[in-house]
Amino acid sequence: MSPLTGVPTKTPLWRDIRVLKWLFQLAVLAIFVGIIFWLYNNYQVNIQRSKIPTGLDFLDNPANFTMPGNDFNQSSPVWSAFVQGFYNTLRVSVVGILLAILIGTLVGMARLSKNFLVRTVAGAYVEVIRNLPLLVLLTFMNLAVVLQTFPRIEDAWKPLDLFVVSNRGIAIPWFEGSGITLLSVLLAALAAAVIIAWVRGKYSDRTGKPARGLLYGTTIFVLVIVGAWLALGYSWTLPLVQDRGTEGGLRLDPSFFALLVTLVVYTSSHIAEIVRGSILAVPRGQGEAADALALSGPKKMRLVILPQAFRVALPAVGNQSLNLIKNSSLGAAISYFELTQIAQITVGNGSPAVPAFTLTLLVYLSISLTTSLIINIFNRRLALVER
């Protein structure tokens, strides 16, 4: 059969949908690059006109301020202040994420409780906390709870003679020895526990007997910690009230405590709803199968429901963890020496604002990207493999 005469055999470029899509995307990209270039050019012109330094030479200048609770002094360089701010941001973020996930999971489970009182209290917690502005909640926690509710140091609360609670902060028992060595021991103990749990899982697959990976893993973890503690000669130091302060133990600054509690309470209220929705997303048949096996309520939740619910919840919980890290910058509002507060003080003492805050942004970005990478690895490990 011969081709029809007068019928085009090839679509013209100006009517080819693939070419038009590419041209549209290239046009959008060109506009975006043009705007960025225009803004950057304006920034360079204005910087040269006002003769503002743009380098990082200010990092070697004296900081000219002090931080309570450590050896940092006015003659220490600015880069040392940023390092201390980085540690403080990490400290409140790591502890906050762990506590927020733990409390959020418990509250999320309580939201589905058959007990009316537990379910109502959990619901009120979520609805009240998550509808409050975070900055207002932080300010209230610092001014009304920590500074006004806690007693003066002369009348400090001393629960079990292990803690000292006052408006100057909370002192807790702490260890004496190398922190880096103890952290290495913790990581080694965690690795040993994971290996033991994996071996027990393989044993269970091969023999059909209960794995009890959590029991064996926890036992190995505790044994490694206790053995290393005794072998390396670590000891405890308890906090004591001395004059108008405390000696021994670890003192948590009032601003750190206010920021930590606020971030944990606020983030856990969001995680609770994520956990609640994830538990409801688990097919009803899974719970019925657990009931058929005569599993108790806690065992059904721990062995059947929660492992599947966390597969659903992990990406959203990861987002809340990233939000907690970024929200830690609000600590500057109550004078907690995290990264943003350090940047503000150094700029106030004469350091160039743009390089200082650019450095701060890059540090926050590196922390968030590292956290996101860890969450993605966990998410990939927990994802169901479809065949």
By the 10 Å C-beta count (0-12 exposed, 13-18 middle, 19+ buried), 85 is classed as buried
Q: CA-CA distance, 315 to 371, in Å (whole number)?
A: 12
Residue 257 CA, chain-centre distance (Å), reads 16
CA 186 to chain CA centroid, nearest Å? 19
Q: Where are the domains of the chain?
A: 84-148+252-341+348-382, 182-234
Question: Of 260, 308, 311, 333, whose CA–CA distance to 97 is shortest?
Answer: 260
User: Is the CATH code 1.20.1050.10 the one for domain 84-148+252-341+348-382?
Assistant: no
Per-residue CA distances from 324 to 22, 109, 127, 151, 330 (Å): 39, 21, 19, 29, 10
d(CA 261, CA 165): 15
Largest separation between any pair of C-alpha atoms in the chain: 106
Q: Cβ distance 338 to 324 under 8 Å? A: no
Instruction: Produce one character per residue of 241-252: b if its CB has 16 or more CB atoms within 10 Å, e if not.
Output: beeeebebbebb
Per-residue model confidence as pLDDT tens digits over 24-59: 999 999 999 999 999 989 988 888 887 777 788 888
Within 8 A by CB and 6+ apart from 260, the residues are 92, 95, 96, 99, 252
Q: DSSP string covering 206-233, please? A: HH-S---HHHHHHHHHHHHHHHHHHHTT
Name, in order, each residue with C-beta under 8 angstroms of 274's C-beta and a sequence gap of 6 or more. 104, 108, 313, 316, 317, 320
pLDDT value for 163:
87
Alpha carbons 229 and 226: distance in angstroms, whole number: 5
Low-confidence ranges of the chain (pLDDT < 50): 1
Record the pTM.
0.80
What is the pLDDT at residue 6? 57
